[in-house]
Amino acid sequence: MMPAHHRQWTRDFFRLVVAILAGLATQTMPAEELLDRMDSQRPKYVEIAAKIWRWAEVGYREVQSSSLLADELEAAGFEVQRGVADIPTAFVAEFGQGKPVIGILAEYDALPGMEQEAVPAKQPLKSNKAGHACGHHLFGTASTWAAITVKEQMAAKKIKGTLRLYGCPAEEGGSGKVFMVRAGLFNDCDVVLHWHPGSENRAGLETNLANISGKFRFRGKAAHAAGAPHQARSALDAVMLFAHGVDLLREHVPQETRLHYVITNGGNAPNIVPDFAEVYMYARHPDPKTLDGIWSRIEKCAEGGAIATETTRSLELVGNTANLLPNDALARLLDTHLRAVGGVTYSAEETQFAETLRPSLLRPELPPLTEASQVKSVSEGQRYGSTDVGDVSWAVPTGGFSTACVFPGVPMHSWQAVACGGTSIGHKGMTNAAKTLTLATLQLLTEPQQVAAARESFEKRREGKSYQTRFPKSQGPALNYRDSGVAP
C-alpha cells in the first residue's frame, strides 16, 4: 500500500493540476497556445543570452548585462528602478499594482578564469578572462522572458496583482541578494520564484550550504630576500601558516563542512620578501550556527599566522549567505508546470557535441543523454553549493527548480559548462525554464489559494528558526571583490 504521505502528495498533485487547467483556461490564453507563442519568440531571447554569454561580466561589474535586461523590461512596459540597495548593477522592474506581489529572480554574473568558446574542446575565448560556467546568462534571460510574457497576459486579461523582476548581481560570492533583502526590497512580496541551469530537470525541496567568505590580508615588512631577510617580516609566510592551519582544521570539523581558499596575492618577486599577501577563504556548512563556530576557528588560524610571523592581519567579509528554506507548496506547483513543459530532446548535432566533449571530463562515463528528457521527482536532500537565494527564502516564500542546460554528467563551474551554455544545448534548457516560470507565475497571480499555501509552507518550515546575516548594518556590498589581491 502507498504510504500516507505519498497518498497525500498524489491527491494534492491532482488537485493542483485541475486548478491550474481551470485557472489558465479562464484567466489567460490556453497554455498550449501560450507556449507556442513563446517558441516563436525564442530567437530574440537566444540573442540576448548570447550577448550576455560573450560579455561574461563578473560580480558587481555586470554593467552591460544588467542594462540589457533592464532596457528590455522597460521597453516592455515595466517601471524599472536601477541601482537599488546601493548596487549599481542591481535593479527592480515592476508591473501592475496591488496584491498578490509575485517576484521572479534574475542573475547575470560570470565566473573569473572561465573563458571558453562554444566548442567541445578547451579553447579560451580571447576577448575576456571570465565565462558563464554557471549559466547565469541563461538564468537572467529566461526570467526576463517569463516576466515579459506574464506582463502581456496581465495587460490583455486585466489580471490583478503586481509582478516584479529582481535583477540580482554578484551571486557568485558577492551576496548581492543579501543586501537587497536588507534594503527591504522583498518586504511586501508574497512569493518569489527562481530557477537555475543544471544537468537535470527538477523542482527542488533540497536545501544547501550556508556560506561565509572573506579576504584575509597580512602586512609585514619588505627587504631583500637574500641580502637582508632578517630585516623583513613576510606576509606570505603568514598566509602559508594560515593556510596550513586551515588544512589541519579540516580533520576537526563536521564532515558536511567545505573549506576552500585561493591565494590572491603572494608577493611580486622571489627576491623581495612580501610585505603584503592575501588569501580569499570560503567556509560552508548546512547549519549557519555551526558555520559561525567554524569561522571563528578560521579567524584564529589567521591570528596564529600573524603572531608567528610578527605581521598584522585584517579581514574583509565578502560573502555570507544562508541555507535555502524549501517550500513544499511551491515545489508541487513548479513540479506540475515543469512536467507540463517537459524535458529536453537533443538533435544529432548536439549528441555529437556531447560525445566529443565526453573524454575531457574527469569522469567521462556520462549518464545517458535521455536523462535530460526526463523530469525528476521532487525529493528532499542536501546540496553542497551555496546561493544568496537562501537569504531571500528566509524573508519570503520562495520556490525554485532546475532545467537541463548542460549534458548530464557535465559539472557546473567548468569550461565544459561554459561551452554548453553558449550553444543550443543551453538555450533549450533556458526556453523550458522561461515557460515553467510563466505558467507558475500566472497561476500564482490568478489563484489566491496557491499563494496562501506557499505562505503556510513557509511558516511551517521557518517555525522555531531564525535568520540573521553576519554583515553589520554599516557594511555595504564588496563592489570590488573581484579585484585579485590588490592591497587596499
Structural domain harbouring 285: 210-321
Take residue 139 and report the three cell numbers written for it.
538564468
Please tell me the predicted confidence (pLDDT) of residue 27. 54
296 and 263 both lie in a single domain: yes
331 and 312 both lie in a single domain: no
Residue 312 has pLDDT above 80, yes or no: yes
91 and 121 both lie in a single domain: yes
Please tell me the predicted confidence (pLDDT) of residue 357. 94
64 and 142 both lie in a single domain: yes
Residue 427 has pLDDT above 50, yes or no: yes
Please tell me the predicted confidence (pLDDT) of residue 7. 45
What is the residue type of 118? A
Between 97 and 15, residue with greater pLDDT? 97
300 and 229 both lie in a single domain: yes
Residue 414 has pLDDT above 90, yes or no: yes
Whether residue 481 lies inside any domain: the answer is: no
> Closest Cα partner for 90 from 182, 195, 170?
170
Please tell me the predicted confidence (pLDDT) of residue 14. 46
> Closest Cα partner for 403 from 360, 324, 339, 325?
339
- What are the pLDDT digits (tens) for 472-485? 999 999 999 999 77
| Residue that terminates a domain, selected from 304, 321, 338 | 321
Please tell me the predicted confidence (pLDDT) of residue 444. 98
Total number of domains constituting the chain: 2
Pinpoint the alpha helices (H) of 310-359: 328-341, 348-357
Please tell me the predicted confidence (pLDDT) of residue 12. 52
| Residue that terminates a domain, selected from 264, 289, 321 | 321
229-257 b/e (C-beta count within 10 Å ≥ 16 → b) = eeebbbbbbbbbbbbebbeebeeebeeeb
| Residue that terminates a domain, selected from 272, 296, 321 | 321
Please tell me the predicted confidence (pLDDT) of residue 121. 97
Whether residue 47 lies inside any domain: the answer is: yes
SS (H, E, C) 448-461: HHHHHHHHHHHHHH
Whether residue 215 lies inside any domain: the answer is: yes
8 Å CB contact between 69 and 140: yes
Question: In this structure, are strands 398-404 and 191-198 parallel, antiparallel, or unpaired?
Answer: parallel
pLDDT > 90: what percent of the chain?
A: 85
8 Å CB contact between 160 and 447: no
CATH code, domain with 366: 3.40.630.10
Residue 25 has pLDDT above 50, yes or no: no
Q: What is the pTM of this model?
A: 0.92
415 and 312 both lie in a single domain: no
Residue 487 has pLDDT above 90, yes or no: no
Average pLDDT, the chain: 93
Strand-pair partners of 217: 278, 314
For range 308-324, the mean pLDDT: 97
Whether residue 476 lies inside any domain: the answer is: no
Whether residue 480 lies inside any domain: the answer is: no
13 and 132 both lie in a single domain: yes
Q: Categorize the per-residue pLDDT at 8 as very low, low, confident or very high, splitting at 50, 70 and 90.
A: very low
Task: Evaluate the omega torsion of the peptide bond into residue 100 and state whether it is cis, within 30 degrees of 0.
Answer: yes
Task: For Cα atoms 31, 326, 6, give the angle at the middle one, nearest 5 degrees.
Answer: 75
Residue 263 has pLDDT above 90, yes or no: yes
8 Å CB contact between 113 and 174: no
Whether residue 477 lies inside any domain: the answer is: no
Whether residue 471 lies inside any domain: the answer is: no
What is the residue type of 188? D
- What are the pLDDT digits (tens) for 395-408? 999 999 999 999 98
Between 147 and 16, residue with greater pLDDT? 147
420 and 313 both lie in a single domain: no
203 and 343 both lie in a single domain: yes
Please tell me the predicted confidence (pLDDT) of residue 24. 47
227 and 192 both lie in a single domain: no
> Which of 5-9, 217-221, 471-475 is most confident?
217-221
Strand-pair partners of 285: 210
285 and 233 both lie in a single domain: yes
Question: Out of 133-137, 361-365, 430-434, which region has the weakest mean confidence (pLDDT)?
Answer: 361-365
- What are the pLDDT digits (tens) for 370-398? 888 889 998 888 988 999 999 999 999 99
SS (H, E, C) the chain: CCCHHHHHHHHHHHHHHHHHHHHHHHHCCCHHHHHHHHHHHHHHHHHHHHHHHHHCCECCCCHHHHHHHHHHHHHCCCEEEECHHHCCCCEEEEEEECCCEEEEEEECCEEECCCCCCCCCCCCCCCCCEECCCCHHHHHHHHHHHHHHHHHHHHHHCCCEEEEEEEECCCCCCCHHHHHHHCCCCCCCCEEEEEEEECCEEECCCECCEEEEEEEEEECECCECCCCHHHCECHHHHHHHHHHHHHHHHHHCCCCCEEEEEEEECCCCCCECCCEEEEEEEEEECCHHHHHHHHHHHHHHHHHHHHHHCCEEEEEEEEEECCCCCCHHHHHHHHHHHHHHCCCCCCHHHHHHHHHHHHHCCCCCCCCHHHHHCECCCCCCECCCCCCHHHHHCCCCEEEEEEECCCCCCCCCCHHHHHHHCCHHHHHHHHHHHHHHHHHHHHHHHCHHHHHHHHHHHHHHHCCCCCCCCCCCCCCCCCCCCCCCCCC
For range 197-206, the mean pLDDT: 93
For range 342-358, the mean pLDDT: 93
Whether residue 438 lies inside any domain: the answer is: yes
CATH code, domain with 299: 3.30.70.360
Please tell me the predicted confidence (pLDDT) of residue 4. 45
Please tell me the predicted confidence (pLDDT) of residue 28. 59
- What are the pLDDT digits (tens) for 86-133? 999 999 999 999 999 999 999 999 999 999 999 999 999 887 789 999
295 and 360 both lie in a single domain: no
Q: Categorize the per-residue pLDDT at 30 as very low, low, confident or very high, splitting at 50, 70 and 90.
A: confident
Residue 2 has pLDDT above 60, yes or no: no
